Amino acid sequence: MNVTQDLSILTLITEASVLVQIVLAILIIVSLMSWTYIFRKMFEVRTARTQTERFEEKFWSGGDLGELYSLAGQQRDRIGALGRIFEAGMREFMKARQQKVDHSAQLDGARRAMRAAYQREMDALEAHLSFLASVGSVSPYVGLFGTVWGIMNAFRGLANVQQATLANVAPGIAEALVATAIGLFAAIPAVVAYNRYVHETDRLAIRFESFIEEFSNILLRQAR
């Protein structure tokens, strides 16, 4: 077997020590899970942004709020997060008006309902972001652990060799460095995706909170 074959990635992985192979397997599984969440979150954030823009366009078009409330109740899955926040606040406001409570109680109930709906929607949007953050911060250290262990084994193997040469050391060092490479391969996309999606969800959160304040002012005028 020539040097190129000995130092191929597949050969290094298959001939690595058991512990290094376990580390590599963990990193590969984590990386696959991370990419799954990255793509899933990409579609979720894009859909949430599109649905929010569509609902804002309908809301500020000057249409009847009762019709919009009825539409939001019928299409809760397609109306988007902002539509569900609106629907929660409008439902509570209409209940309070039917019970003929005072104006401040009507507005407070609607605001609490919208804030509760807001928290539920943000929890859904932020799901799995903590996993990406953990992968981005922990994977390099897991890979480094595999590297350190592999280098230790490489130097322990030199104890039985009378004359140490590069040919003796290179396979063990290369095997160990594969763990670091895979750790970085798992961490870098996770960190980039985490930062991107946190930024996107923060922007959506600002839009949701602004809508809650603006809609509360509309409800206040209607209550009076």
* The pLDDT of residue 103: 76
Question: Tens of pLDDT along 80-114?
Answer: 999 999 999 999 988 888 877 777 888 888 899 99
Q: Helix H segments across the chain?
A: 3-6, 9-14, 18-59, 65-74, 76-79, 81-98, 103-125, 129-157, 166-223
119-128: long-range contacts at Cβ-Cβ below 8 A with a sequence spacing of 24 or more? 121/81, 121/84, 121/85, 121/208, 122/201, 122/205, 122/208, 124/81, 125/44, 125/45, 125/48, 125/81, 125/201, 125/204, 126/201, 128/37, 128/40, 128/41
Between the alpha carbon of residue 187 and those of residues 27, 119, 180, 218, the distances in Å are: 9, 29, 10, 46
Print pLDDT tens along the chain (224 aa): 444 445 566 666 676 678 878 888 999 999 999 999 999 999 999 999 999 999 999 888 877 888 888 888 888 888 899 999 999 999 998 888 887 777 788 888 889 999 999 999 999 999 999 999 999 999 999 988 888 888 887 777 666 666 656 566 666 677 778 888 899 999 999 999 999 999 999 999 999 999 999 999 888 887 66
Q: Which residues contact 91 (CB under 8 A, 6 or more apart)?
A: 69, 73, 113
Predicted local distance difference test score (pLDDT) of residue 167: 60
Q: What is the pLDDT of residue 2?
A: 44
Give residue 192's identity as a one-letter amino acid code. V
Q: How far, in Å, CA of 213 to CA of 135, rounded?
A: 36
Give the 3-state secondary structure of residue 28.
helix
> Cα–Cα distance between 180 and 166 in angstroms, integer?
21
* Confidence at residue 158, expressed as pLDDT on a 0 to 100 scale: 67
Distance CA 124, CA 107 (A): 26
Per the rule left: phi > 0, alpha: psi between -120 and 50, beta: everything else, 50 is: alpha
Radius of gyration for the chain, computed over Cα atoms and rounded to the nearest angstrom:
28
The closest alpha carbon to 134, from 51, 32, 34, belongs to 34
Amino acid at 189: P
Q: Which of 92, 83, 60 shows the shortest CA–CA distance to 223?
A: 92
Helix (H, G, I), strand (E, B) or coil at 215: helix
